[in-house]
Chain A
Amino acid sequence: MEKNSDNEQIVRFNIIERIQHIVLFVTLIMLLITGLSLSFYDSWFGRFMIGLEGGLEGRGKLHNLFAFILIGLCVFHSLYATFSDKGHKEISYIKFRKKDFKDIILSFRYNFGMSKDKPQFGRYNLAQKFQYWAVVLGCLVMIVTGIVLLFKFWGIGMIVPKWLWDITNLIHSYEGMLIFLVLFVWHIYDVHLSPGEFPMNNTWLTGKISKSKLRDEHPEEYEEIFGGKA
């Protein structure tokens, strides 16, 4: 009986949220591939990828295409987070709160074995919060700088002086690299490689989490749903 209820699946993310996640990672991967192939144009990787992408011009068009899909997604996501009940609630959960700062210290102490108390996370744990806001900030920077870079190709380059365009260009490429490294090291570890998740956490497809895992990793949320102690 106990075991049965432990394996019970609880829906965490609805279909709209799951589709947003899929569109996000598909566009990000495509943007990274098309972007990094320009950054590394001089290596076998760059030459090979640019060849696949239909030459330098094709690469640019592909990059722009996915950039506009990402912009569309960001607009939709902002509307969803502001105006839908579910989205609004999620944002209130993922916002940083005072307890998070205590949790940072606590998780360090816990990880180093200096404390036996495990930080009690809510619907989103620290890593998830950081990753979400890193993506928000990253997308914002990449979209703003990307649009400035596009000015030149739309024939309105004269709005931005060359030195500012150069800085924008630099930030766009370094920020892209940073996002790539952080997301791909951290997020891939969290949902694919970390013990207990390998080879893949299925939540992105099903939107579900098992009751035992919820109790283990999101005890505050568990309490909210089922009441009483875990």
Chain B
Amino acid sequence: MLEAHHIFKTYESKPLLKDISFHVDTGETICLLGASGSGKSTLLRIIAGLEEPDSGFVSFAGQNLSSAPPHLRDFGLVFQDYALFPHLNVNENVGFGLRMRRLPGDEILRRVANSLEMVNMSGFENRQVTDLSGGEQQRVALARALATRPRLLMFDEPLGALDRTLREELLNELRRILHRTNIPAIYVTHDQEEAFAIADRVLILHDGEIIRQGTPADVWANPESAFVAGFLGLGNVIVGKLRGNRTDGKWKVESGLGVFTVDCAHKHKEGEKIHLLARPFPAEKESNVIQGAVEDVVFQQNRFKVTLDNGLYVYLSQAPAVGEKIDVRVKVECLA
């Protein structure tokens, strides 16, 4: 369906996007995940046709879109600040794209009602958009994008301005709608929880490059780099030096936080500096242990996040006393 081919873009003579290529399949939702400044919004704007890449191009169903202006691309856009038209009411906002397509009036009414129903906003037709709450405004913006039945939907941090419960609620609805309509979608966010919840495939953007892509489960299990592990908050990233290959094929790694024994899939040399990921969940069967004095205990839902004096953290079901010395068996993995 949608394909991005070797997209390069510089901003104020600094490279912002370096050779970005990816594709979105029919009915697939991909998520561009990255910190602010990673170039993810620029990439979205390039796909929408609002900005031009320095080189490379975007194609849809094999058709090069380089010369297609944004209004002929038929891609729906949903923004963080909703971007509803303040001088039009809900009905007129949702029907805007349909009026631009010169559809007959009764068809417009039918499809507006249909779209509003999809986002649970039936009955709001004649309300002023400026009177709506943030969540309601975003639902209207979504209905507006859905009404034209675009061939691709794009979301730029759509839930960034909403509070947590509303965010979860809307995220669930959005996933349901995307599955039902089968419209391919690109979802841009910096929030990994949001990304993992909605995406069929996650693309992690860092310094203008896609450094990791895969299903949420795959990325979670194999972050493959210290940056991804740290950015996604998968656990403690530890820097260590390789010290000797053991007979069972495992490596001994020395670090300021202890000595660990890890499996390493990649080829390594003695003395090489590598990154380890110590998952923060206690695992009785593991041989590696992290230890230290408890510095801080924070209650989180059904567990306690316990931070140690050396900066490491683990999740425990029982709260230890502050200052108590503990050691916890955890899984330690080798990051490339």
User: Do the two shown chains form a genuine complex with each other?
Assistant: no
Taking beta carbons and an 8 Å cutoff, which residues of B are in contact with A? Answer: none
Taking beta carbons and an 8 Å cutoff, which residues of A are in contact with B? Answer: none
